[in-house]
Amino acid sequence: MSTNEKSEQDWKSSVDSTIKRFPERKDSFTTSSNIEVDRLYYSEGENDSSDQLGFPGQYPYTRGIQPTMYRSRFWTMRQYAGFGSAEETNKRFRYLLDQGQTGLSVAFDLPTQIGYDSDDIMAEGEVGKVGVAIDSLHDMEQLLDQIPLDKVSTSMTINASASVLLCMYIAVGEKQGVPMEKLTGTIQNDILKEYIARGTYIYPPKPSMRLITNIFEYCQKNVPKFNTISISGYHIREAGSTAVQEAAFTIANGIAYVDAALESGLDVDTFAPRLAFFFNAHNNFFEEVAKFRAARRIWAKIMKEQYKAKDPKSWKMRFHTQTGGSTLTAQQPDNNIVRVTLQALAAVMGGTQSLHTNSRDEALSLPTEDSARIALRTQQIIANESGVADTIDPLGGSYYVEELTNVIEEQVQEYLERINEIGGAVQAVEEGYMQREIQQNAYETQKRIEKEEEVIVGLNKFKIDEEVNPDLLKVDEALESAQIKSIEVIRKNRDQESVDNTLAAIRKHVKTKDTNLIPFILDAVKAYATIGEICNVLRDEFGEYIGM
């Protein structure tokens, strides 16, 4: 029996076992002309390059990480939401869930992201503006009110202060009667990309890496269904990188996190299955599909060959995708619906596990309820009306897509070799290597747009006379004062001695490098210590990072 024939038999066996757990959506799949659609299309015999392609759910996962992919279950449909107060955002969450969304994705305001309370002078003018304001456990309780955490998966886009927000989520689950071992979701927790592309960091790289590995260890033992990191290429792409740079720098960061976890004493197969990734989807349809396929294959090879992981779950790159915010235009904003549809389709054809579709008005403001609904309907139409989810990896075997996949893999490997020569991702960040590469490409791209060598419909070509003044969502300026009053009430009514004791415990154990800080942060959160109070203790001990 040839290698390919054995792989085929293994795949068919895994399909049978998967269907027992997750039955396919239909007894049979057909086109609108009643033509039968097979589960998978592939060339039979020894000519198939099984070492490169393989079968779905099998190493190296080029064709997807599940044996049946979307034939059994669609990707998780998330809509990134968060604005104003926890109470307002809770209403939007419940609306989206009622509309058929299958997972929550939380945006936090800038003060929350960088560990300041809403009454801090550093927070002035920013409270609730780009996400929801979360100051204490009280706000998190409001945010998740009437949302069953044993049934809803939640993704939280939070990095520098991720440990505090994760503890708040755990504490709310406990109050709902949901034990932490049943909580599901993802915390972004990717600080390296903040130094590279986004800027919402607090502490220097090394203590930040300690907090991240503390989360790995704590969740592996206590919150096993929670994805402990979402290694993010999204913001790298938003800063101006190419698709190749996005994949390369994201994977390089992933390697750094694996190395840090191993150095802290963790076994690779205890944490690697809970690593997740977060990618962007831009307009070049086939390149995006190839990028996802290549990234999956590269990561599988790294985990199996470089790190000698034994558990196949450690080899699988599971990822969330968001459509490209930087591709949206304020001009002719309805064109953004078309852009988002193409990008979402690329993510699905590339095998994403969950997806957020941007709203048409996000180049102008936070999305309105109507715009958010259209964005969600875009995913639902792709899933239920297009037929692209009825067969696995429908572009697999395309001469163009396979060549693009191979070339992207080669170019990503070249970047990984360069970063390794520098001393790894952390050293490359500290030396500004990735930042310079992204800045150079962003500059070249802008020049091409200004010269009309790269066409942006409605921006530099096919323009119309228009007044860009759609119905926009605006955050009430009174929110900030209301949030400040809320903090005052919390501080007045809590047990201050308990707060002081839990903060003192964090300060004490920060000094012991081998101590996991998460249990002490969780104690402080339960005592209603605020995010600013907790992060200020860590600022005092770790210091602050001032950037390049």
Q: What is the pLDDT of residues 481-519, one digit of tens each?
A: 999 999 999 999 999 999 999 999 999 999 988 899 999
pLDDT, mean of residues 95-107: 86
The rounded distance, in Å, linking the Cα atoms of 185 and 183 is 7
* ∠ CA 255-395-233, rounded to 5°: 25
Other CB atoms within a 10 A radius of the CB of residue 350 amount to 26
What pLDDT is attached to residue 7?
85
Residues 6+ apart with CB under 8 A from 61: 54, 296, 297, 300, 315, 316, 317
Taking only the tens place, the pLDDT of each residue in 192-229 is 999 999 899 999 999 999 999 999 999 999 999 999 99
Say yes or no to pLDDT of 475 above 90. no
Q: What is the pLDDT of residues 359-409, one digit of tens each?
A: 999 888 778 889 989 999 999 999 999 999 999 999 999 999 999 999 999
With CA atoms as reference, report the closest residue to 150 among 178, 129, 124, 169. 178
Phi, psi of 165 (to 5 degrees): -70, -35
Helix axes 162-176, 205-222, angle to 10 degrees: 20
Q: Is 531 helix (H, G, I), strand (E, B) or coil?
A: helix
Average pLDDT in the chain: 93
How large is the average pLDDT for residues 172-184? 96
Q: Which amino acid is at 348?
A: V
At 274, which amino acid appears?
R
Is 329 or 368 the better-scoring residue by pLDDT? 329
Name the band, by pLDDT with cuts 50, 70 and 90, for residue 270: very high
**Residue 134: which of 159, 105, 165 has the closest Cα?**
165
> In the 3-class helix/strand/coil scheme, how is 201-228 assigned residue by residue?
CCCCHHHHHHHHHHHHHHHHHHCCCEEC
Q: So what's the pLDDT on residue 467?
A: 74
Angle between helices 205-222 and 243-263 (to 10 degrees): 70
What is the average pLDDT across 115-128? 95
Handedness of CA 363, 367, 370, 376 (dihedral sign): positive
Q: How confident is the model at residue 96 (pLDDT cuts 50, 70, 90)?
A: confident
What is the helix (H) or strand (E) element at residue 508, kind and residue range? helix 496-510
Whether residue 450 contacts residue 280, with contact meaning beta carbons closer than 8 Å, is answered with: no
Which is nearest to 531 in space by CA: 509, 508, 505, 499?
499
- Tally of CB atoms within 10 A around 446: 12
Residue whose tokens read 């591709």: 327
Give the integer Cα–Cα distance in Å for 473 and 310: 49
Decide if pLDDT at 469 tops 80: no
Please list, in sequence order, all residues whose beta carbon lies within 8 angstroms of the beta carbon of residue 127, skipping any fewer than 6 positions away.
Answer: 109, 111, 118, 133, 479, 480, 483
Rounded to an integer, the average pLDDT of 430-434 is 94
pTM for the whole structure:
0.93
Q: State what percent of residues in the chain have pLDDT above 90.
A: 84
Q: What percent of the chain has pLDDT over 70?
A: 96
pLDDT at 281: 98
- Helix boundaries (H) for 99-226: 110-113, 137-143, 162-176, 192-193, 205-222
Q: Answer whether 161's CB lies under 8 Å from 530's CB.
A: no
Lowest mean pLDDT, pick from 124-133, 401-410, 519-528: 124-133
d(CA 375, CA 339): 11
Position 362 scores a pLDDT of 86
Q: Does residue 522 carry a pLDDT above 50?
A: yes
Distance CA 8, CA 48 (A): 11
pLDDT at 44 over 80: no
C-beta of residue 339 within 8 angstroms of C-beta of residue 327:
yes
Local structure of residue 124 (DSSP, 8 states): T
pLDDT surpasses 90 at 451: yes
Rg (CA), the chain: 23
Say if residue 470's pLDDT is above 80.
Answer: no
Q: What pLDDT was estimated at residue 473? A: 61
Q: At residue 310, what are phi and psi to the nearest 5 degrees? A: -95, -30
Q: By three-state DSSP, how is residue 118 classified?
A: coil
Q: Is the pLDDT of residue 230 over 70?
A: yes
Q: State how far the Cα of 427 lies from the Cα of 419, in Å rounded to an integer.
A: 8
Task: Give 13-22 contacts, CB < 8 A, sequence gap 24+.
Answer: 14/57, 14/58, 14/67, 15/39, 15/67, 15/68, 18/57, 18/66, 18/67, 18/68, 18/72, 19/68, 19/72, 22/68, 22/72, 22/73
CA nearest to 256, candidates 237, 229, 274: 229
On the question of pLDDT at 129 being above 90, the answer is no
Tokens 């096993």 locate to: 224
